[in-house]
Structure 1
Amino acid sequence: MEGISVQRPHARTALTCAAALLLVSLTACAGGAEADDRKPTPPRGVTAQAGSATSVHVMWEQSTDDKGVTGYEVYREGRKAASVPAGKRMTDIGGLTPSTAYTFTVRARDAAGNLSAPGSAAPATTPAAPAADTAPPTAPVKLRGTADSGRTATLSWGGSTDDVRVTSYDIYQEDSRIHTVAGTGTTARLTGLRPGTVYTFTVRARDASEKSSPDSNALDLTTPSAAGAPAGTAPTGLRTRTTAEGGDFAVDLSWDQPDTGGTIPAYQLFLNGKPTTTIVWGGTPPAGRATYRLTLTDPPGTRYSLKIRPKLPDGTWGDFSAQRTIVLPG
């Protein structure tokens, strides 16, 4: 019994010391983890443009944060109207009242939930609802433009007409809308582009009843490469011709091959943004202009977007060509 009574205080002391050490360790760990209490910067360049009698298109520039921006909150008259992921910097706010003035602000959000101060307020006034707007606008014409730098471009076009009024023009990069301007304007300055990249732009007009025009002509622009960057590897001069063959459709593609310093063994063909087939030559790859025939079995009127990219001599995939849009003939 005497031996046991002597050991108990030591056991209690050891446990107490272990607990104290654990507490110190946990305290040190907790103290070492820095809380993220820094807010993102306010979004700059906030603009708001009425797209119809009941909707407004809001756009802004990217915010920065010490940990990373995870999203944006869009406010209408101080009340949250939409949440947008970090990779997107535009949204449409619908359900509005015709002939009404609104004010929009945008705040950036980080992973810790910190919200930035609001960016500058952007006003917009919705037009009056048309009494009878039965026809969409005509397509914009003569779309043209220049790549001003590796990250910016300026577009211009001939205006559309509508039975009531054109309220806005939407600019599309391939099949995604990236910008909107007022119906009274026929120019747009695009930012956030990548150097050394081929872009295909189209423009559609929109009226107060949300009817959109057909596409304008497609415009291909290549932004200048950054200093010291390797030469571009995009195929150029992509052309398509579609013909009916029995119950199917043949799409003949041709393009100029890029100079890669070696043989291009294959190309990858994308339809509607998804890889569809790999074009591999049966013998020696052709030099100069290449051709390929694609067979489609969809109904007449089906719309497709097509683009290709080369497989480089080192086995990696090169840059995309400009995109082409086809509609299977009736």
Structure 2
Amino acid sequence: MQRPPTRVVSTCAAPLLLGLLAGCGGSAEATDTTAPTTPQGVTAQASSSTSVHVMWEPSSDDTAVAGYEIYREGTRVRTVPAAKRMIDVDGLTASTAYAFTVRARDAAGNLSGPGPGVPVTTQPTPPDDRDAPTVPGPPRATGVGTDGVTLSWTAATDDIGVTSYDVYQEDSRIHSVSATVTSARLTGLRPGTVYTFTVRARDASDKSSADSRAVDVTTASAPGAPASTAPTGLRTETSGKPGSYAVALSWDQPEVGGVIPAYELYLDGKATTTVVWGGTPPKGRATYELTLTEPEGTRHSVKIRAKLPDGKWGDFSAQRTLVLGG
């Protein structure tokens, strides 16, 4: 009588510890159980009667920080990605005390400790406020080492009162200070890079002024690093009418040790066109005219970079903001 085939059962059943898998020819992926460090330097500033601006310093993690969670009295109210370290918390009540904490989270879901709660009281309900603050005076910028900048500006005024100043870098708000302060120290910048900053004033009704005049500053290059290849002195001039605006651009070309065959033009942060000279590239100051067809009042940001003799793209120029018909 023929016996049935013998079934061989593996001793590596599922309930066995992960550490035994290696003996069965498998492998176990390491589990991340280490939480990020607790965010430091948390500040909470009452931007208006109904909002608070929360900022913090970056955390670190054995793998990578994936994001941050903002808590109000222990209740999570906002989450932001790892690249962001400031947020406005809205929908609050006037003249009310709150406490905010921030926790870092990694991709495995580990949360840092919350740190001590930072107290803040929202602004009182303002009287009828119809006017935005005046524009802050032209900012001044000084580079601090290879990764820092100090900004200062002249105070703005408001019919009710300025409550804060917001610092913008290429149309993105990156810092805020109270109305009693007219300067800011910015860190974490890249060496040998040109930055453009503007400042806006804000009042208790969350009305903001127009941008201040832009200021450009270039951080110092790292020791031994090559000089910046950014075009400088970028200027824009707009003419025409709605539906057909001509934007004249001009800039000083960088010294790159050879001929610059082309420039790449960025509009609102996206590559829009490549400027290629039809004949011999110009020397000294270069010009280009861009045609735009949007309605009057449309706002754009523009910056350029050179194509270097080795075929690589160079550093970006300072960014300029233009308003069609403005």
Give the TM-score taking structure 1 as reference length. 0.92
- 1:138-177 maps to which residues of 2 (within 5 A)? 138-177=134-173
Deviation at 1:36, TM superposition (A): 1.3
Residue number in structure 1 paired with 2:261 = 265
**C-alpha spacing 1:25/1:59, structure 2 compared with 1 (3 Å):** closer
Code of the aligned partner of 1:28: L
Q: Is the 8 A contact 1:271 1:307 kept in 2?
A: yes
Partner SS state of residue 21, structure 2: helix
Q: Give the counterpart of 1:314 among 292, 310, 315.
A: 310
5 Å-filtered alignment, 1:1-330, equals 1=1, 4-5=2-3, 8=5, 11-12=6-7, 15-16=8-9, 19-20=10-11, 27-29=20-22, 32-244=28-240, 248-329=244-325
Contact 2:241 2:296 in 1 (8 A): no
Tell me the amino acid that sits aligned with residue 34 of structure 1. A
Q: CA deviation at 1:22?
A: 7.0
Distance in 2 of aligned mates of 1:139 and 1:186: 13
C-alpha contact 2:51 2:89 (8 A) present in aligned 1: yes
Deviations 1:53-95 (A, max 9, x none): 1001111111111111111111111211111111111111011
Bigger drift between 136-145 and 295-304 goes to: 295-304
For 2:255, the aligned partner's letter is: D
Measure, in 1, the Cα distance between the counterparts of 2:277 and 2:320: 22
Sort the Cα spacing of 1:254 and 1:117 in 2 relative to 1 into closer, same or farther, 3 A. same
Aligned length: 321
Q: Which has the larger radius of gyration?
A: 1
Q: Which amino acid aligns with 1:122?
A: V
C-alpha distance 246-157 of structure 1, shift in aligned 2 (>3 A): closer
Question: In 2, are the aligned partners of 1:46 and 1:120 still within 8 Å (CA)?
Answer: no
Q: 1:141 to 1:37 in 2, by over 3 A?
A: same
Cα pair distance change 1:123/1:25, threshold 3 Å: closer
| Structure 1 position 245, deviation (Å) | 6.5
TM-score by length of 2: 0.93
* Larger helix share, 1 or 2: 1
Would the aligned equivalents of 1:145 and 1:155 in 2 still touch at CA under 8 Å? Answer: yes
Are the aligned partners of 1:72 and 1:108 in contact in 2 as well (CA < 8 Å)?
A: yes
Q: Structure 1 residues 40 and 165, CA, compared in 2 at 3 Å: closer, same or farther?
A: same
Q: Following the alignment from structure 1 to structure 2, what is the Cα–Cα distance between the partners of residues 150 and 123?
A: 34
Structure 2 SS opposite 1:293: strand
In the alignment, the residues of structure 1 paired with residue 46 and residue 33 of structure 2 have an alpha-carbon distance, to the nearest angstrom, of 36
The residue type paired with residue 118 of structure 1 is P
The verdict on how the C-alpha distance between 1:230 and 1:119 changes in structure 2, with shifts beyond 3 A counting, is farther
Equivalent pair of 2:55/2:87 in contact (CA under 8 Å): yes
Q: Deviations over 1:10-51 (max 9, x none)?
A: x24xx13xx126778973248843321111100111111111
Counterpart of 1:20 in structure 2: which amino acid? T
Tell whether the 8 Å contact from 2:139 to 2:152 is kept in structure 1 after alignment.
yes
How far did residue 96 of structure 1 move? Answer: 0.7
Q: Give the Å deviation of 1:118.
A: 1.3
**Structure 2, gaps ≥5 residues long:** none
Q: Which amino acid is 2:270 matched to?
A: K
CA positional deviation for 1:206:
0.5
Which residue identity lines up with residue 308 of structure 2 in the other structure?
L
Question: What is the deviation of 1:146?
Answer: 0.5
Q: AA paired with 1:55?
A: S
In structure 2, C-alpha distance between the alignment counterparts of 1:216 and 1:314, rounded to whole Å: 38
- Aligned AA for 1:215? D
Is the CA contact 2:149–2:186 (under 8 Å) kept in the aligned structure 1? yes
